[in-house]
Structure 1
Amino acid sequence: MLIIKKYAAIDIGSNAIRLLISNVIIKNGEEPQFKKSSLVRVPIRLGADTFVNGIISSKNKQRMIDAMNAFKLLMNIHNVEKYRACATSAMREASNGKETIEEILQQTGVKIDLIDGQTEAAIIFSTDLTELIKNDHSYLYVDVGGGSTELTVFSNGEIINSKSFKLGTVRLLNKDKSKNEQWKSMEKWIKKNTKKLKRVSIIGSGGNINKIYKMSGKPPGKSLSFIYLNAHYTFLRQMSYEERVSELGLNADRADVIIPATKIYLNAMKWCDAKKIFVPKIGLSDGIIKTLYLNS
């Protein structure tokens, strides 16, 4: 017997807001399959408000309301039976974040959960990594967002430690005053939690590393080397913002944040002496879909 369920995830990040609609295909005696049906990404950069002014602007609040109304219509058209919307660091740190969430609920009927960094990491980590992870290896999972970077160390198939740092692409672009302290804290944490581990590899998550992987032309499942990523970082930095948009075809809201994102991944690799980074196509939206199914 075959059952197909439709679930949706709304990821309200610091650089963009995404709606992922997935089919969950359930067949007796087999593992469920998660197939993407639709993905919509809107470039509402909430972090540019929060990390500079500490508040979500009226303009972006209205854009969010419009986006949620549009997402609600799309979910109805797709016959989505269950959804979850999660907001991360930009909404979490905005002085009017909770007020904005309440206003969105009243005007659109879309309920938004405000999640902390550890919850975000746990949701992302719920995605299936079994094809990638080897039990005799150690990994540092690095998820780079607009407002924060979530780190998880695991070895022999078990989580060793995890932590969220206020280092994100939009935050770095806006010259956050605490960034030097955060860089030092992240370096210290990574070195402390990986120093006794051998053969550490990075698992990279986030839109920027996915874009870099796609640009590399590597087949799925293959890793990128530190040497390649470092060379690509140099290549990107040598280009102007306009060239990254016109010649590389990057979205306008990707062409600037891809530089600080790459720097975060490179530093993480350097601090745990990782020679390669794996880039599975997973993120918060995928984790939300998986947890909706597991909790149904």
Structure 2
Amino acid sequence: MTNGASNRFLNLYTMKYGAIDIGTNAARLLIGEVLHDADRSFVKKISYTRIPLRLGDDVFSMGKVAAKKKLNLINTMKAFQIITNIFEVSQVQAFATSAMREAANAGQIVLDIKGATGIDLKIISGTEEANVILNSIMLFDLDPVFPMVIIDVGGGSTEINIFKDRENVVSKSFKVGALRILRGKFSEAVWSEINEWIASYIVPGEEYALFGIGGNIKKAYKLLVHGANKAAAYEELIKLKKQLESLTLPERMEKFQLRPDRADVIVPALDIYTRVISNFKCNFIHVPKVSLSDGMVYQMYLKEKNK
């Protein structure tokens, strides 16, 4: 290996990446690096920042992001820019998902963010969002004995990805999410759409391994499961959902130590997860420590590696 190639190799494995995810419920910045353990790659979290902007509240009620939340979003992006500069990240990637896809003033907001921070915010489609999530599959340390289903429930949309032999069979984004349900801004017909779509792609009687992605399923997993490498049981998720439904928001916050912006959306999120799980011959769902942001970091790493 030449000195130039050697230096590039070392630089590749010491690069830090910044992944900005502007979601319906919150804005997130993950600063991470890709490390390797035997034959497995994983994203090491260096810094994680979450701001509960709730752009979906404006978009679902007015069809756009109002002036106050727009200012909050721009200030959040400025803060994220400062953090990435402090950590001297090599690359920054910024994606916006469901709420910004529907905001009538999204284009102007993207221009304003670019002018204020220099960051290019890309509004990605549901399909593109699903494809980024596919990068996360490379980070799973799993035995692919059974076909795998990745379920990602966000604030405004739900992505379902079906894999077999670690190859993607099909992906689809559905217009239903935790905040969208909470605000009553969804169609009941989406449940039939999800069920019919799943039925058209799964093999009757075949076993599937299910994996949940998203902040709400991670929180539910922590509330239910103690110890490493365990899955959350379907019946336990149903029981937890009913228990949470019976409590007021302050009671949920006190009993389960939930933030206000988690206490109200966790129930509709669990409703989505359990409805999807019921379509499969599976009584458990695994909850790996990966997210859209992890997929973004890994995507940047792969692009740099393949240069």
TM range (shorter): over 0.9
Matches for 1:116-265 after TM superposition, within 5 Å = 116-127=125-136, 128-132=138-142, 134-176=143-185, 178-196=186-204, 198-265=206-273
Partners of 2:270 and 2:17 in 1: how far apart? 32
2:195/2:276 contact within 8 Å kept: yes
Shift of the alpha carbon at 1:23?
A: 2.7
Q: Which of 181-190 and 194-203 deviates more?
A: 194-203
Partner of 1:11: 21
Percent identical residues: 38
Q: Does 1:92 align with 2:101?
A: yes
Partner of 2:30: 20
Partners of 1:129 and 1:75 in 2: how far apart? 23
The count of corresponding residues between Structure 1 and Structure 2 is 293
Partner of 2:64: 55
The 1:66–1:163 alpha-carbon spacing in structure 2 relative to 1, beyond 3 Å, is same
The 1:61–1:270 alpha-carbon spacing in structure 2 relative to 1, beyond 3 Å, is same
Partners of 1:147 and 1:249 in 2: how far apart? 24
Partners of 2:233 and 2:36 in 1: how far apart? 37
Give the secondary-structure state (helix, strand or coil) at the position aligned to 2:85.
helix
Partner of 2:116: 107
Partner of 2:3: none
In structure 2, give the amino acid aligned to 1:8: G
2:207/2:280 contact within 8 Å kept: no
2:31/2:45 contact within 8 Å kept: yes
1:202/1:274 contact within 8 Å kept: yes
Shift of the alpha carbon at 1:272?
A: 2.1
Partners of 1:26 and 1:140 in 2: how far apart? 25
The alignment's C-alpha RMSD in Å is 1.8
2:55/2:99 contact within 8 Å kept: yes
The 1:253–1:111 alpha-carbon spacing in structure 2 relative to 1, beyond 3 Å, is same
Shift of the alpha carbon at 1:197?
A: 5.6
Gaps of 5+ in 2: 1-5
Shift of the alpha carbon at 1:190?
A: 1.4
In structure 1, give the amino acid aligned to 2:47: S
The 1:174–1:130 alpha-carbon spacing in structure 2 relative to 1, beyond 3 Å, is closer
Runs of 4 or more above 3 Å deviation: 24-27, 29-33
Provide Cα deviations, 1:142-199, integer angstroms capped at 9, x if missing partner. Answer: 10000000011122332221110000011111111x4212121111111222243611
Shift of the alpha carbon at 1:136?
A: 2.8
Task: Find the partner of 2:287 among 264, 279, 296.
Answer: 279
The 1:228–1:101 alpha-carbon spacing in structure 2 relative to 1, beyond 3 Å, is same
User: TM-score, normalised to structure 1's length?
Assistant: 0.94
Give the secondary-structure state (helix, strand or coil) at the position aligned to 2:261.
coil
User: TM-score, normalised to structure 2's length?
Assistant: 0.90
Shift of the alpha carbon at 1:104?
A: 1.1
